[in-house]
Structure formats: structure tokens, C-alpha cells
Amino acid sequence: MTKTFLAGALLSASIFGLAAPAFADTELKVYISSQHQPQVWRKVMDQYEAANPGTKVTIETGGNTSEAQAQYLNTIMSAKDSSLDVLILDVIRPAQFAAAGWTSPFEGKDMSVYLPAYAEANTVDGKVVALPAFADSMFLYYRKDLLEKYGVEPPKTWDELKAAVKKINGGENNQDLQGLSFQGKAIEGAVCTFLLPYWSQGKNLTDNGKLTFDKQAAVNSLKLWKSFVDEGVSKKNIAEVATDDTRKEFQAGNVVFAVNWSYAWAQSQSKDSAVAGKVGVARLPAMTGGEQATCLGGWEWGVSAYSKNQDGAKKLVEYLSSKDASKFMAVNGSLLPTHSELYKDADVLKAAPWFADAKQVVETAKPRPVTPRYNEVSETIRTTVNAVLAGVTTPEDGAAQIEARLKRILR
Amino acid sequence: MTTSTLTKTDRTDRQPPAWTKMLDLSDRALAVLLLAPAAILLSLIIVYPVMRLIYTSFFSLSLTSGLPAEFVGIENYQLMIEDPVFWETTWNTVLITLITVPGALFVGLGLALLANIPFRRQWPVRLSLLIPWALPLSFAGLIFAWFFHSEYGVVNDVLSRFGIEGVIWFNSPNLAFAAICLTIVWKTSSFMALIILAGLQTIPRSLYEAADVDGAGRIRQFFEITLPLLKPAIVVALIFRTITALQTFDIPYMMTGGGPGTSTATLAMYIHQNTVSFLDLGYGSALAVVMFALSMCVTAVYLRIIRTKE
């Protein structure tokens, strides 16, 4: 494809007598969702432009949730639109984009420089379909001050968390103080909500694309979340709570424990935060008798298969996923690095000291099922979690519905 | 025919250029020629997409499979019959139509009668009628999602001031459904009111004056004069409202996203989900064909009503 393009370009150049330098002017358009600090990425693009004279990079922003972003890109890509060269993709999407033929593979790319989880997430059928932008996973945020006041250690199991909340709530006697905030709205985050206790029981959802659904583990997971609502640990309208609601409630000082991604850290330490300096970050608790598990997040850079400047776009993506760019984003945007050695880097640790412990968490984080039909898997799980938390469906019926629908999707 | 012979004799004197001969068309041919641009445009933007949609609905075409389109006959339609979510979303759509169309008609009629009262200043009334209509659907959905929010919403706040404990609207399928229907009625009754108001203003005052002389009361006047003369306007308003009700998407999409579970999802949302999110174009097309057929049936029924009335 590239060869025919080059040949065509050379042919037209010789026909029209264009001078060679005209080709040096490369214009690239990068799509970044507005939730991912495009203003900080802009500085990385500026550095790239400075190092590569003749290249101009513009940023298009849009879609402030993973779903909104996916819908936008689905529309653009199914129309074979060539206006975007480089795309930022949620870690769950490379498989779908590869199956649809929407991203160009990076041939012969050495993925061992990245954390293993991201080398794996970006490799589909032996082909590297995208390169990592930044790492992420879910953590347990807690109020250090309140836990110290009541002599409670960060909980290792969900049952310990319940007991801790009861102890703290009993002492504080504050109606507005919620024990645990998590995502119950039918959004992508609710998929992780379901999977955290499910994985913690040592079960996996898929194995090599085949469904390995454990119904009892699913029932236990849904029951656990419902019990938080029924026992008053989480508030009754948890089915309305999205990721950023959790962040806001915690930041306003109304929550003892919160399940959230790493991005919540920077804002919880900002000037307008009620909890600055009072926040601890720990691994997520386990089911009693199970192992601690968390959900792998992070975003990737893909090159659009319809980009008219494949080589230029790939070169830019190589830079955006390089160690330098990763370090810059860790220091300036508090995004977790995808390069292992950066977790020990002095500059990075100065900006976000807890990154020192985060590497182990990211390394043990589990990926959501890798399948081209992920959107259907996600829809099935998140609407069921939402229905169970709203009290519309029982955990048993919910697990049965998930099983029946996943069986049809992951045949 | 006579006209054309006349023009011919006129022209022989002036020796018209040869090409005008070609334009010397019969009435029928002229009609075809004049209608052609509109017909071509309509075929391109309406007939072709609809045909293409029906064609695609007979194929298995999913962009996530990486496989080329394969002809599967009516398999997509068979899948649909077995799909509980299809029936649930279709039922929700029909229910929304059955509730919000009459709801918007009654509220709209009331608003139109109110706006027709000769106030000293007409514009504040007319403006407040126009605002809900001019507001984009998704904005209305977002605004009402906040109104009905269990913690920050104004609805629960007002309820609590009257000593009634607030409810979590979006936690219950019935309450969420009620909230959506209320929002749709609020949003669409102003459109009804505008059309009915236009109809009201065509009714001559002399009819009411004559009725006054004959001793007919206000209520009698309404049922004997106002309502019968408003019928054409009401039917037009109903056609438009019913079709947009069958296509309900924006308001439930913004308010509940179909939740809790899929209990407030509409057929249009399910089509959107299958095509834009799941990229299953074959199945999505089959669903869209069903919605198209539904809309056509409703239109046919209304057109029938208009025709028999005339």
C-alpha cells in the first residue's frame, strides 16, 4: 500500500515536475479524547514538531467518555474517512479496530520495552496493531485521616472494608459521609465493577477468546455490590454514579473509600480539593479467601488505516509512545508510565510519589476480555450490573442473563 | 392543443433557433421535465437509502467480524423475533407513543387556548410557548436528567418541601419511564400548541358572536365550533408528533441511557446501539426496516383519516 503510494507520488512528481522538498511538508491530525489532557499532549507534539522540521501536528478533541469516543471513531472509520492520521484508543479497543482493519500494523516492532500487559493488549493475532500511550488501573482511594483516627488499616478484603466503614460511620455519625463510592451507572467502568470481585475468586471470563464463565463467582460478585447498597455502606442511588461522580464525591470529602482510576489522584491533591494531603492509595481489596485483583486500564495510539501519510503517522506514534514522551506525561499530566524503568525515575516520583508502588499494581492488573465484539460484552455486563444495583434484577437472574448473552457473543 | 397551434403560427414569422424546437414539448412531457429535479433529488436522498437499508437487512454484515457481507435471507428478521430486547424496546416505544402523543395533544390544546386569550402583551406568552420547541432534544434530556436527579434534582427538592420523601427516579423502571414521558410531553406540547394556535386564529370571531346571540355557553361553543374547526390542524399535528414519537431517541438516551438495565430503551436506541456501537449493520438495518414499516403504517392510517374527513 505504502509502496504503491510512493510510486504514485514519484510518478506524479515527475509528470508535474514538482521539486522534492514539497514532500517534506507533512501534516498530521491526531485524535485525543477531551478527558485525556490534550493541552499537555500538545506540548509533546510541539517537541516532535521542533525535532522534525516540516512536520505539522494538529489535535482534534472530542468524546469525554470511552463510549462517546468509540461511537465517534466508529462513525469516522466505518466511513473510511482519511482526515484522522493518529487515534487514541481505550485499551479494550485494539482487537475491534484490528478486526475491522481500521489500524495499520507496526511490522517488526519490539514490544519488550513496554510493560508486558501493554505489549499483550496491543498485539492481536501476532501483529502489533497499536502502541501504548499511558498505563492505568483501578485503585482503592481512602481517607488517610479518618482511618488513622479510628485506628483502621487499609482493608485487604471487601469484608474488612465493610467493617471499617461501620466503625468509622458509627464514630463520625455524619449522614452525608458515604462508606464506599464505586461505579454503578451503565458505563464502561461498571464492567470493571463486576469483574473486580469476579477475578478475585480466581476465575477468568475468557480464555483465548472462549467463554469460561463461572456463574457462582458472578452471583457472588453481584451480591457483594448489592450488599454494599443494602447495608448502607454505599448510597442508595449508586446506580446513577459514573466514574467522575465518584471522583467528585471523594474530593468533596463525602466518601471514606472510593474505587477509581489513577487520574483521580492529581485532582484530589489540587487546591480546591477538600481532602488534599488526606488521601491514601492502596490496592483494591479481595473477596475473603481470594486474591487482590484490579482492572487494567490505559490508552493506546493507533495509526488509521485510511491515513494518507502512513510513514509520517507511524513515526509520530513511535515518538508518542517513547520513554521520553511517557516521562513527560507522567511528570506533567500524572499519567502512569508504560515503560518499566520510569517507575523508579526521580523526576517522576517527585511529581507523584505513590507511583513507586503503582507499578506492581499495574503489572498484576487483569485485562478485560480481548475480542472484536467487546462492545457487546461490555453492554451486557454494564446494563446487568446497573439493573442489579437498581434492584430491578436479582444477582442470580443477573448472572444468568450475563451468561446467556455472553454465550451468544463469544461463540 | 389549440394553444400550441397558435404559438406555432406566431413563431413561423420570427424564425426561432432550431434548439427551441426540441423544447416544444407536450404538456405531459413538460410536467415530467419540471418534476424530474425534485423526483431525482428525492430518490437520491430518500428512496435510495431506504432501498439500500432493506437490501442490507438481508445480509450478515458486521464490521467487527472482519468477514465480507454474506446474503442470509430473512435470518436477521428471525433473530429479531427471538430477541427479547427487540420486543422490550419496541414495546417501550409504543408505550411512549401511546402516552406522550395524547398527553402532548391535551397540554398543547390547553396552552394554545391560553395563548389565544387576548392578553395586552402577546409576546411573553408566545415566547414561552416557543422556547421548549426551539430547545434541542438532547439539551432538554440533559436538563431534565438533572431535574430528576435523586440528590441534586429540583423535583425531589420541591417534593421534600411539601413533606414528601424524594424518590430515586432512575432506579425504578416505572419512575424512570414516567420521568421520560413527562419530559417528552413538556418538550413536544409546545409544537402541538403552535400548530393548534395557528388553527385557532383562522376561526372567524363572527361564529362565536352568533353563538352568543343564540345563547350557547362557553363549553358548548368549544365543542360545537372550536374543536370541529380545529380538526385539520390537530390531525396534522398528530401525524408529525406520532412519527417523531416512534423515533424517540434523544430524551431517553440523555436521561437514562435506557436504564435501569434496558427497561427504558427505545427501538431507535436499540438500532443506534447495534449499528454505531456494535457495528452489526445487517441486524441494525433489519431493526430499522421494522421502524420504517411502523412509521409508514401510522402515516397511512392518518392519511386515510384525513381523506375520509374531506
Kindly state the helix (H) or strand (E) to which residue B89 belongs, with its residue range. helix B84-116
Q: Does residue B267 belong to any structural domain of this protein?
A: yes
pLDDT class of B308 with cuts at 50, 70, 90: low
What's the mean pLDDT in A248-269?
90
- Segment A165-202, tens digit of pLDDT: 999 998 888 888 999 999 999 999 999 999 999 999 99
- Segment A209-219, tens digit of pLDDT: 789 999 999 99
Q: Show residues of chain B in contact with A383, CB under 8 Å.
A: 258-259, 261-262
Residue A297 DSSP class: -
- Segment B103-137, tens digit of pLDDT: 999 999 999 998 888 877 778 888 888 889 999 99
Nearest CA in chain A to B150: A237
Q: Does residue B45 belong to any structural domain of this protein?
A: no
Cα A183 from chain centroid (whole Å): 14
Q: What is the pLDDT of residue B23?
A: 64
For residues B53 and A160, what is the distance between their CA atoms, to the nearest angstrom? 56
Nearest CA in chain B to A389: B171
Question: How close, in Å, is residue B95 to chain A by CA atoms?
Answer: 19
pLDDT class of B283 with cuts at 50, 70, 90: very high
CATH number, position B287: 1.10.3720.10
- Count CB neighbours of A24 within 10 A: 10
- Segment A313-353, tens digit of pLDDT: 999 999 999 999 999 999 888 889 999 999 999 999 988 88
CB contact under 8 A, A390 and B258: no
This complex has an ipTM of: 0.80
pLDDT class of B28 with cuts at 50, 70, 90: confident
Nearest CA in chain A to B176: A390
Q: Using the predicted structure, report yes or no on whether residue B309 has a pLDDT greater than 70.
A: no
Q: Does residue B129 belong to any structural domain of this protein?
A: yes
| Residue showing cell 507511583 | A355
Instruction: Give which of B224, B230, B221, B241 is closest to B201, Cα–Cα.
Output: B230
Q: Show residues of chain B in contact with A376, CB under 8 Å.
A: 278
Mean pLDDT computed over every residue of chain A: 89
- Segment B215-253, tens digit of pLDDT: 888 889 889 889 999 988 898 899 889 999 999 999 999
Q: What is the pLDDT of residue A272?
A: 85
- Segment B170-196, tens digit of pLDDT: 999 999 999 999 999 999 999 999 999
Inter-chain Cβ pairs, chain A and chain B, closer than 8 A: 87
For residues A289 and B210, what is the distance between their CA atoms, to the nearest angstrom? 88
Strands A279-282 and A139-143: antiparallel
Query: Most B CBs within 10 Å: which of A127, A373, A392, as the mutation test of the B interface?
Result: A392
- Count CB neighbours of A156 within 10 A: 15
CB contact under 8 A, A237 and B257: no
Q: What is the pLDDT of residue B12?
A: 52
Q: Show residues of chain B in contact with A101, CB under 8 Å.
A: 66
Query: Most A CBs within 10 Å: which of B142, B151, B170, B171, as the mutation test of the A interface?
Result: B171
Instruction: Give which of A234, A155, A225, A215 is closest to A194, Cα–Cα.
Output: A225
Cell of A109: 516492532
Cell of A166: 461501620
pLDDT class of B1 with cuts at 50, 70, 90: very low
Q: Does residue B4 belong to any structural domain of this protein?
A: no
> Could you tell me what percent of chain A has a pLDDT over 90?
68
Instruction: Give which of A193, A215, A217 is closest to A407, Cα–Cα.
Output: A215
Q: Using the predicted structure, report yes or no on whether residue A37 has a pLDDT greater than 50.
A: yes
| Residue showing cell 414539448 | B25
- Segment A88-140, tens digit of pLDDT: 999 999 988 998 899 999 998 999 999 998 998 899 888 999 999 999 999 99
Domain count, chain B: 1
Q: Show residues of chain A in contact with B150, CB under 8 Å.
A: 236-237, 240
Q: Show residues of chain B in contact with A390, CB under 8 Å.
A: 170-172, 259-261
CB contact under 8 A, A387 and B258: no
Among the partner residues A101, A386, A392, nearest to B66 by beta-carbon distance: A101
Question: How close, in Å, is residue A80 to chain B by CA atoms?
Answer: 12
Q: What is the pLDDT of residue A363?
A: 87
Among the partner residues A99, A379, A393, nearest to B273 by beta-carbon distance: A379
Q: Which residues of A touch B (CB under 8 A)?
A: 67, 70-71, 74-75, 78, 96, 99-101, 185-186, 236-237, 239-240, 372-373, 375-376, 379, 383-384, 386-387, 389-393
Q: Which domain holds residue B246?
A: 84-309
CATH fold, domain A2-136+297-364, is: D-Maltodextrin-Binding Protein; domain 2 (3.40.190)
Ranges of H-type helices in A153-277: 158-172, 188-200, 215-230, 243-251, 264-268
Q: Does residue B167 belong to any structural domain of this protein?
A: yes
Say which range, A160-169, A397-406, B293-302, has the weakest mean pLDDT. Answer: B293-302
Instruction: Give which of B256, B141, B255 is closest to B187, Cα–Cα.
Output: B141
Q: Domain A139-295+373-409 classified CATH 3.40.190.10? A: yes
- Segment B136-159, tens digit of pLDDT: 999 999 999 999 998 889 999 999
Is B66 near chain A, with CB under 8 Å?
A: yes
CB contact under 8 A, B173 and A100: no
Among the partner residues B66, B172, B276, nearest to A99 by beta-carbon distance: B66
Question: How close, in Å, is residue B134 to chain A by CA atoms?
Answer: 25
Backbone dihedral region for residue A289 (phi beyond 0: left; psi -120 to 50: alpha; all else: beta): left
Domain boundaries, chain A: 2-136+297-364, 139-295+373-409
Question: How close, in Å, is residue B174 to chain A by CA atoms?
Answer: 10
Instruction: Give which of B285, B307, B287, B303 is closest to B69, Cα–Cα.
Output: B285
CB contact under 8 A, B64 and A390: no
Q: Show residues of chain A in contact with B253, CB under 8 Å.
A: none
